[in-house]
């Protein structure tokens, strides 16, 4: 029963609220950087409410069940992985649902659900966008995995999130060492691609393939994808904090540190987004398999040396 409460409170309510705030923060900063005023605080919520009020369009000849259930699958997986991360962060002693490998696999499902939705749209632009999303996953997956296993190497070969956290509580955070810094740089670039932000927004590329894999989505179904993407803005930084910066704590002064960690990572993501143009998909593949991969290997080698 408490599991269900965890899901509703942490998985949906907290994650979505933080996600909406993060989305507003991102849009506001972007606007300020472009000398615009920017949206009001509740704008992400208004967007969702507006979309829920619109009718849902389904293209001719499309399987309605597949088309409309793809967003649900994505939302559910993000909710599950958020619940997992929150509960493990707040109670490191409790081994809840899964470990690091489970988190890595669950984090692929949102992209996968968007691809299935795009494929189901029966639209060549959506298919093109979805195929780019898949190629993007292939390009960032290898460096991302290497970066994520740097904490495992340094933390005594445990893949339990709780043990990684308590190791950091005793011996200092993984992001403190040379290998940790490198791995974090690699991981944040990959997270940028996972969220689908510029410069890695090739799958949606509004100005080129008009929304790509989301092109046929409208109304409630689009609203769910938007909620999912906002929630990812909470979940993915949280994941980085857990494995590189010792998780979140809310007692006394630690609450401030936790807030700073989150805002810091979010800010980095926003800066990368606003200072880069969109890359082409083959450039993205070369970028991740080339320089980023070298950095990731270097991080792993340093971790083996104990740095």
Partner 1 sequence: MLGELFKVDNFSAFVGTFAAFFTVLIAVYSFGFMRGQKGLARYYLYIALTLISSLGAIFANNLVVFVVFWGFLGFLLYLLIEFGNKERTSATARKSLIIVGGTDAFMLLGVALIWLINGSFQMDELAITLDNKFAILAYLLLAIGAFAKAGAMPFHTWIPDMAEDAPTPVTAFLPASLDKLLGIYFLGRISLDIFQMNDAMNMFLMGVGSFTIVAAVMMALVQHDLKRLLGYHAVSQVGYMVLGIGTGNPLGIAGGIFHMLNHAIYKSCLFLSGGAVEKKAGTTDLEKLGGLVKVMPITFITFLIGSLAISGVPPFNGFASKWMIYQGIIELGKNGGGWWIVWLMAAMFGSALTLASFMKLVHAIFLGQPSNERAIAGNKKQEVGITMLFPAVLLAVFCIIFGVFAYAVPLTMFIFPSLNEGVAFDGVWNSGIATTLILLAIVLGAIIYFLGRMAKTRRTESFVGGEFLEKNADMRLSGVEFYNTIQDVGILKFIYRLAGKKLFDIYEVGGKIASGFTATLRFLHNGVLPTYLVWCLLGMLAIFYVVFK
Residue in 18, 115, 187, 234 binding partner 1, rule: CB under 8 A: 115
Which two structure tokens, joined as six digits, stand for 182?
């490198």
Of 153-161, 168-176, 186-194, 251-259: span binding partner 1 (CB under 8 A): 153-161
Burial 72-95 (b: 16+ CB within 10 A, else e): ebbbbbbbbbbbbbbbbbeebeee
Binding mask 58-77 for partner 1 (x = CB under 8 A): xxxx-xx-x-xx-xxx-xxx
Spell out the residues 6+ positions from residue 211 whose beta carbon is closer than 8 angstroms to its own: 125, 129, 204
Q: Considering beta carbons, is residue 20 or 262 the nearer one to partner 1?
A: 20
Q: Considering beta carbons, is residue 115 or 241 the nearer one to partner 1?
A: 115
Instruction: Report the 10 Å Cβ neighbour count for 244.
Output: 26
Q: Considering beta carbons, is residue 36 or 206 the nearer one to partner 1?
A: 206
Residue in 18, 51, 198, 295 binding partner 1, rule: CB under 8 A: 51
- Give least dist CB 172 to partner 1, A: 21
Q: Considering beta carbons, is residue 35 or 157 the nearer one to partner 1?
A: 157
Binding mask 191-230 for partner 1 (x = CB under 8 A): -------------------x----xx--xxx-xx--x---
Does residue 183 touch partner 1 according to CB under 8 A? no
Gap between the Cα atoms of 266 and 287, Å rounded:
22
Gap between the Cα atoms of 66 and 228, Å rounded:
17
* Cα distance from N-terminal residue to C-terminal residue, the chain: 43
Which two structure tokens, joined as six digits, stand for 243?
């494995």
- Give least dist CB 126 to partner 1, A: 8
- Give least dist CB 134 to partner 1, A: 5
Find the helix or strand (DSSP H, E) in which 185 lies.
helix 178-195
């Amino acid at each position: 029963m408490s599991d269900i409460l965890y899901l509703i409170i942490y998985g949906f309510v907290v994650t979505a609220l933080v996600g909406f705030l993060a989305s507003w923060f991102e849009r506001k900063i972007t606007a300020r950087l472009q000398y615009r005023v920017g949206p009001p605080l509740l704008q992400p919520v208004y967007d969702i409410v507006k979309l829920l009020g619109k009718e849902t369009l389904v293209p001719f000849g499309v399987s309605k069940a597949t088309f409309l259930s793809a967003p649900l699958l994505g939302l559910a997986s993000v909710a599950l992985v958020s619940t997992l991360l929150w509960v493990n962060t707040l109670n490191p002693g409790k081994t809840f649902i899964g470990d690091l490998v489970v988190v890595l696999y669950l984090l692929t499902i949102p992209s996968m659900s968007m691809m299935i939705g795009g494929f189901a749209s029966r639209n060549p632009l959506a298919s093109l966008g979805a195929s780019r999303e898949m190629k993007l996953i292939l390009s960032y997956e290898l460096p991302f995995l290497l970066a994520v296993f740097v904490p495992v190497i340094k933390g005594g070969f445990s893949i339990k999130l709780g043990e990684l956290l308590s190791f950091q509580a005793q011996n200092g955070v993984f992001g403190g060492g040379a290998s940790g810094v490198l791995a974090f740089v690699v991981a944040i670039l990959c997270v940028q691609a996972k969220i689908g932000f510029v410069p890695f927004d090739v799958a949606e590329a509004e100005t080129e393939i008009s929304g790509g894999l989301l092109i046929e989505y409208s109304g409630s179904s689009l609203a769910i994808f938007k909620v999912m993407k906002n929630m990812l803005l909470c979940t993915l930084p949280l994941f980085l904090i857990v494995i590189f910066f010792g998780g979140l704590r809310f007692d006394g002064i630690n609450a401030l540190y936790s807030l700073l960690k989150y805002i810091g990572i979010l800010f980095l993501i926003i800066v990368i987004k606003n200072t880069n143009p969109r890359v082409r998909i083959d450039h993205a593949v070369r970028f991740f398999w080339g320089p980023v991969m070298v950095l990731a290997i270097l991080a792993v080698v340093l971790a083996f040396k104990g740095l």
